[in-house]
Amino acid sequence: MVRSEFISLLETLMRVAGRKMAKKRRKGRGGEDMMGREMGERAEDGDGRRLDERGRSCHGRDRPSPPRLLDGTVPSPKPTRPSLGPFAPELLRKRYLRRDLSGEVAETAEEMFSRVARTVARAEGRFGGDATAMASRFRDVMTGGLFLPNSPTLMNAGLALGQLSACFVLPVEDSMDGIFGALKEMAKIHQSGGGTGFSFSRLRPKGDPVRATGGIASGPVSFMEVFDAATEVIKQGGRRRGANMAVLRADHPDIIEFVRAKERQGRLQNFNLSVGATGDLMARARSGKEFELRNPRTGLVAETVDASNLLREMAANAWRRGDPGVLFLDRINDAHPIPGTIEATNPCGEQPLLPYESCNLGSLNLSRFAGGGEVDWDGLEEMARLAVRFLDDVLEVNRFPLRRIREATLRSRKIGLGVMGFAEMLIELGISYASKEAVEMAEEAMGFIASSARDESRSLGEERGSFPLLEESNLGYDAMRNATVTTVAPTGSISLIAGTSPGIEPLFGLSYSRDLLGDEMVAMNPLFERMAKDRGLGDGLIRHVAARGTLAGAEGVPDDLKELFVTAMEVAPAQHVKIQAAFQRFTDNGVSKTVNLPNEATVEDVLNIFALAHDLGCKGITVYRYGSRDQLLHLGEGRGTEAEIDPGGLGCRICD
């Protein structure tokens, strides 16, 4: 809804929500955002139905028979009505729902989930399973907000393109053919809805001789601008903006130019930047030693710099603009289970991949497995196992954009099961995000999910066959279907669909507005509404939160409620890192997380965060300081309030 409608709706909700919300567990509630092309023009013509604000067909029972999809099946006429978040209907209408040849929406949210479930479940038939029964299970968990796959799966399953993966890494070799070949491959992936990661570390440094022409090289950053410009052009015709990650090793001679690449506002806006750091750099920075920069073409030392000054330069630019982040490449490769060297990740940093690998991600909604102070561990295990089966089925039915990607992906069969709704799970359990107990719950929950997911992959390996590189891996299993099974993604878009908090982030605000594809939307956290009503705190507090977005300055609020509903900027930076590290300990791949810093934070604070992340075993780290760039979300009722803030932790700023 637009902001002008919010207050009147809020008053209605206040009158009716109390008793209903107290008796019922909340309904599901938003991830990744890379761009795709307009898929509707390649889908079969439908009936052009539009949706009302609740996601229902405006034509009601008089709608014509639904068209057949590419698999020849007809959408289920009465699937379970989805449990959607307040932003979901508009987001689905603009970006996810199938369109007919005239560009009109041709399916409801229910039919979208049925389309996806039916397409993915076709894989079950290849192994002697009941595809129809499994499609029903897949549909029910998605419509119930218990689990959602990455956005390309929701957008493309059952349609002409059929590309279902979110994450890709492409190599960039030090030649014109290599550079522009990667650019062409990037364009194909972006058209299909995927995001791309690149390491530019193999490119010769700026000023290096080019023997073929007798000229000199322009360096990695100049070619990054070419990739950025191409992404900008491609996204103009797509449903989502292009998403890229650029990685440069800390020992590349052009590292300072790379670190400063976003000093000018608007430059490389389709890229996240990450420095590929190592334990050696961190150790030398602490001891004040020098650090060698090496020409990747020759392997020779090009320059020696003070390691602590280099790390401080990284921290200063992260403080100023939010980029670069840091990837601890040696730690990533030490934990990687199969042969090969990882040089880059997907756009948001949570999925390290070998060249030409892709990965399918999906997330469990933890908020739906907690209530009354308890966790439904049996339900969580069942859902983790089903989600692993779903993601492995996606690999079977996926249409990969390039032959080399298909080959590399199916050698390892990597999947990434993660979570969303962690903050709301804690609230249901009566645990403050800012507490030691929150860290303990992070470890317990992710450890439990990882164990269940790995065991299910082992069972699938026995049933269907192991991934081809198992014998060359360090996993130590006789059977295993997937080389990796867990990844914690930002879930910016899919958590909006499910109506829960993104990934493992704290609540951005108790009430906030969001620019959703050109429309300003406003929402209030239903958990807060419910608990405020249960405590009898009255309409005045609701109005305060609607205006400001937090409990700051509110009178008469019990201390335990203030602790329970702490928001992102109120959580200590070290606690952000501890939560990330707790999840990382039980995650095969990486963990997407942003450390939020107040505006008055210093460069020294950022340096401390980098050091703490390395010490606690994180594979990477990203920081955001309040006010350091233009904001997309705002606390309270919208733009222009005192509480404006950029949501450093609300999903990935490139992917969403």
Active-site residue list: 346, 348, 350
Is residue 299 within 8 A of residue 595, CB to CB? The reply is no
- The H or E element that residue 523 is part of is strand 519-524
Question: Token digits for 353?
Answer: 């991949």
In sequence order, what are the beta bridge partners of 167? Answer: 195, 359
Question: Token digits for 187?
Answer: 């364009």
In sequence order, what are the beta bridge partners of 246? Answer: 198, 273
Is residue 500 within 8 A of residue 493, CB to CB? The reply is no
Helix (H, G, I), strand (E, B) or coil at 249: strand
How far does CA 32 lie from the centroid of its chain?
4
Is residue 499 within 8 A of residue 85, CB to CB? The reply is yes
Which residues lie below 8 Å from residue 584, measured CB to CB, with a gap of 6+?
Answer: 590, 591, 617, 618, 619
Q: How many CB atoms lie within 10 A of CB 177?
A: 8
Alpha-carbon distance of 608 to 595, in angstroms, equals 12
Extract the runs of DSSP E, i.e. beta strands, from 214-373: 215-216, 244-249, 271-277, 290-294, 301-306, 325-328, 344-345, 352-353, 358-365, 370-371
Q: How many CB atoms lie within 10 A of CB 132?
A: 12
Nearest to 387, CA basis, from 233, 494, 493, 283:
494
DSSP assignment of 591-650 equals B---EEE-TT--HHHHHHHHHHHHHTT-SEE-EEETTSS--SEEETTSTTSTTB---TTS
